[in-house]
Each structure stands twice: as structure tokens, then as C-alpha cells.
Amino acid sequence: MEFENKVILITGAGSGIGRAAALLYAQNGGTIVVSDFNADTGAETVEMIRAAGGEATFVSCNVAKYDEVQKLIATAVDQYGKIDVAVNNAGIGGASWHKTAEHTLEDWDNIIAVNQTGVFYCMKLELQQMTGQGFGSIINIASIAGLRGLPNNSAYVASKHAVVGMTKTAAMEYAKRNIRVNAVCPVFTITNLFDPDKIPVEGLGDKLRRSIPMKRWAKVEEMAESILWLSSDKASFITGHTLSVDGGLTA
Ligand SMILES: NC(=O)c1ccc[n+]([C@@H]2O[C@H](COP(=O)([O-])OP(=O)(O)OC[C@H]3O[C@@H](n4cnc5c(N)ncnc54)[C@H](O)[C@@H]3O)[C@@H](O)[C@H]2O)c1
């Protein structure tokens, strides 16, 4: 199996895309460090993996807190000795959809802290570990909102553009050290973060779905497959790439 004897660390793995990726890596033989700041849902993901015969452990971590990210990386390495793949997936959408002038400062700060600074904290420590061990593959979960604008989501768009920029920069810095750094950019995928029925702008959900050439929302399993492939040795010469998984939207 492709990920046999490989240790995969995933943040935000208690739900949605992170959970789907955790389950798929486990099906492919990987040992999973499931992390989330929600201990109940994180533990559920571990139970799902174990029930299917896989190996996983849960480590609680709020990625917006540097000391908690330090503890996460240290625990993973103490327990399993290395990190082959890190998927920096934890993210939030923010409290509400507002035009830039109406965006609250609180929402701005929260989104930047989790989506942008959280990815930086994780990458900083993962890259230290991977440099020491001499190999590694990092996947940052950005968004199509990291590649183009999305009205009413200023902070989210800013944070995801930052993730794309950090991905490209780290990829160039660590290419010679046998560490690849890539980003997956999902389009709208139904999860706790994105529920088309809860968009507070009349008719916008429908408009967004129709703007996708394939005319449907993405599935978490489609994101998981792309994350797995891009992190795997099959993508061994790909680094600094942003892989849009978007039914043709950014085309
Ligand atoms: N769903 C979409 O349409 C979509 C589109 C593009 C990008 N994304 C990105 O995909 C990633 C996963 O999102 P999802 O759609 O699966 O959402 P989700 O809400 O289902 O999952 C996000 C997980 O992250 C965890 N989390 C949130 N804040 C955290 C923090 N500070 N520290 C640790 N864990 C935290 C949550 O508890 C949850 O388990 C996010 O980065 C999101 O921005 C999602």
C-alpha cells in the first residue's frame, strides 16, 4: 500500500475535507496523526480509522496558538519518530458574508489567525522536522479564493492568497532538501464550513453553483484523492504547485 510505514499529520481532521483525507490515507496504509481543536470530532475520526483496521492517534491543537502547534509536532515525532506528510488543512470561513467596508475587525483577526498564521506556524515547525529527517511532503489547503477574488469574503480571500504565497516560497526554499510543498485549492465543497443553504445573500448559492462549469458542488472525497496524489511519490517532481480542484471554475 502506497502510504505503508508513512506518518501523516493532518490538522482540522475532525470534519469535512480533513477527515476524508485522514480516512483515505489510512485506507492506503498510512499511520495518521489526527489533529483538531475539537477533541470530540477528532476522537471520532480516530475511531473511524481504527474501526476500519487502521492506525491513528489524536492530538488536540488550536493551530492559531504557537505553543499548541509545538506540542502537536513534538507529540507526533515522539510517538512515531518522523512526519512523512503534513496536511495543513484547519481553516475557518468566518462569521458572516460582508463587503470589505462592513467586515468586522474581529472576523478579520480570527480568519487571519487560523487560516494564515496557523499555516505559517505549522509549516515553520514541520519544515524544521523535515529538514532534520531529510525528507517530507507538505500540502497546504488553500482555496480557489487563494487564486481569485470572492466578493463578501475579504479576510478569507486574503488568508488563502497568503497560503498560496507561503507555499510557493517554502517550495523554492526547501526543494534542494528533498521536501516538496504544494497547495490544493478546492472549490465549494459541502462541509460544516460551506453550506449553500446558509449563504445569507438571496440566490447567491445557486449563482455560485452555476458558475462552476461542471454545475455541481465538489465532494470531500474528491479533495482527499487530490491531496493524497499530490503528497505521494507519484508527484515526486511537483513542488510549489497550486492544484485547483474546481470543476473548471478557474479555467
Ligand atoms: N468547504 C469548502 O467549500 C472549501 C473550499 C475551499 C477551501 N476549503 C478549505 O478546506 C479546509 C477544510 O475545510 P472544510 O470545508 O473541511 O471545513 P470543516 O469545518 O468541515 O473542517 C474544518 C476543521 O478544522 C477545525 N478547525 C477550525 N479552526 C481550527 C483551529 N484554530 N485549530 C485547529 N482546528 C481547527 C474544525 O474543528 C474542523 O474540524 C479549510 O482550510 C477551508 O478553508 C474549504
pTM: 0.98
**CA of 14, closest atom in ligand 1:** 39
Grid coordinates of 27: 485506507
What are the angstrom distances between the C-alpha of 81 and each of 6, 11, 62, 129?
10, 18, 22, 10
| C-alpha to C-alpha distance for 41 and 13, rounded to whole angstroms | 8
- For domain 7-244, the question of CATH label 3.40.50.720 is answered with yes
pLDDT value at residue 123: 98
Measured in Å, residue 2 CA sits from the centre of ligand 1 at 26
Q: Tell me, in angstroms, the distance from the centre of ligand 1 to residue 15's CA.
A: 7
Annotated catalytic residue 174: no
- Residue-level pLDDT, tens digit, the chain, 251 residues: 999 999 999 999 999 999 999 999 999 999 999 999 999 999 999 999 999 999 999 999 999 999 999 999 999 999 999 999 999 999 999 877 889 999 999 999 999 999 999 999 999 999 999 999 999 999 999 999 999 999 999 999 999 999 999 999 999 999 999 999 999 999 999 999 999 888 878 888 899 999 999 999 999 999 999 999 999 999 999 999 999 999 999 99
Q: Which long-range contacts (CB under 8 A, 24 or more apart) does 127-132 make?
A: 127/170, 127/174, 127/179, 129/73, 129/77, 129/82, 129/83, 130/83, 130/86, 130/174, 130/177, 130/179, 131/174, 131/177, 131/179
Helix, strand or coil, per DSSP, at residue 95: coil
Catalytic residue among 25, 80, 121, 156: 156
CB-based contact 142:223 (threshold 8 Å): no
Where along the chain do its domains lie? 7-244
pLDDT (0 to 100) of residue 199: 83
Summarised one tens digit per residue, pLDDT across range 142-197 is 999 999 999 999 999 999 999 999 999 999 999 999 999 999 999 999 999 999 88
Contact 186, 17 (CB under 8 A): yes
Q: Phi/psi of residue 42, each to 5°?
A: -65, -45
Q: Is 212 in the pocket of ligand 1 (CB under 6 A)?
A: no
Torsion, Cα of 76, 82, 87, 90 (10° steps): 20
pLDDT in tens, 17-27: 999 999 999 99
Nearest CA among 130, 89, 185 for reference residue 6? 130
Dihedrals phi, psi of 87, to nearest 5 degrees: -110, 105
